[in-house]
Amino acid sequence: MSRVNDWHIMAALALFGIAAPFLLPGLVTQLAFLWLMVVFALTWDMLGGRMGYNSFGNIVFFGIGCYAAAVLQRDAGLPYFEGLALGLAVGAVLAVLAAIVFGAALLGIRGHYFAIGTLGLGIAAGEIASGWRYVGAGSGLALPLYPGDLGSREFFFCYSLFALAALCFLTCRWLYGTRFGLALNAIRDDQDKADAMGLRTTRIKIFAWSVSAFFLGISGGLAANMIGFIDPRDVAFAGATFGVWMVLMAILGGKGTLWGPVLGAFVFHVTQELFWTYLLGWQRVALGLLIVVIVVFFPQGIMGWLAERRERRGTAA
């Protein structure tokens, strides 16, 4: 069968990721944000889609990444790129540690209670950051200036985020092909059963959240540098924008599928950019309507909708 498979799509996306900044030089920053959105959707889906734990607090790991990079780049006294590398590494480690601590505390809670608990986590993080003088409190932190040429800055962050998104996708793809992937699904379908069959569910859940946190931590450091400034509530712990988008993109594309979050990120980001360009002033309303449309007409996401159609055609034939 000469059907399109994963490898064809991955190759096409890799080509797109490499060539697009040259082909669309005016959209490099938008592209960079697109890859950031892909990371958001993929990392959210690991818990929300695969494991059935709807987290509204993943933004915390992103914020930790933002602040870790900003503080280290400010205080470590290193040249820009060394400081950035150190900041990203420390951000990733701190995000993973946070996932382990919060996971141990929250992942024992189920269903809506977990969602609400994580929502509280995101809000609390924003409040703490905006009251903490060391990290700039409410006025936020400025990141050091990018030392290269003006044009190269966008390219650098676009490619960095592309590489991160690719790595994140490949990690997910690998994980979902292992027993670990099956264990996540088992926890989603019936956690008590999984326990009774001897699975180490607590460990599995915390590990899954740590993987999410790892990629979100790095993405936070990169995004903070790209934006150049972090505000505690509007950038780092932006629960009402980034934090909600993560969920939306995964649901829009089809949660619990490999390609769903990627597709959702593309569709969402493009739509959102169009709203901002052509419906200025009404963009939030349009976005809200889009959310309603997603939930009402595509509860299973685009991938789920496609699978259903294929199935129906299969039974009809």
List contacts with another protein (CB under 8 A): 175, 177-180, 182-183, 185-186, 188-190, 192-201, 203-204, 207, 256
Instruction: Give me the least distance between CB of 186 and another protein, in Å please.
Output: 5
Written as six digits, the tokens of 101 are 């601590």
Written as six digits, the tokens of 228 are 């150049």
Instruction: Give me the least distance between CB of 234 and another protein, in Å please.
Output: 37
Closest CA to 111 of 37, 19, 48: 48
160: helix, strand or coil: helix
Instruction: Give me the least distance between CB of 176 and another protein, in Å please.
Output: 10
Select 198 or 281, whichever has its Cβ closest to another protein.
198
Select 75 or 308, whichever has its Cβ closest to another protein.
308
Phi and psi for 142 in degrees, rounded to 5?
Answer: -95, 140
Select 73 or 201, whichever has its Cβ closest to another protein.
201
Instruction: Give me the least distance between CB of 46 and another protein, in Å please.
Output: 14
Measured CA to CA in angstroms, residue 132 lies from 69, 99, 119, 135 at distances of 16, 21, 20, 6
How many other C-beta atoms are found inside a 10 Å radius of the C-beta of residue 256? 22
Written as six digits, the tokens of 188 are 């989603």
Closest CA to 301 of 272, 265, 277: 265
Select 186 or 248, whichever has its Cβ closest to another protein.
186
Instruction: Give me the least distance between CB of 76 and another protein, in Å please.
Output: 32
Size of the chain in residues:
317
- Distance of alpha carbon 2 from alpha carbon 153, whole angstroms: 41
Select 50 or 153, whichever has its Cβ closest to another protein.
50
Instruction: Give me the least distance between CB of 179 and another protein, in Å please.
Output: 5
Select 86 or 307, whichever has its Cβ closest to another protein.
307
Written as six digits, the tokens of 270 are 């493009």
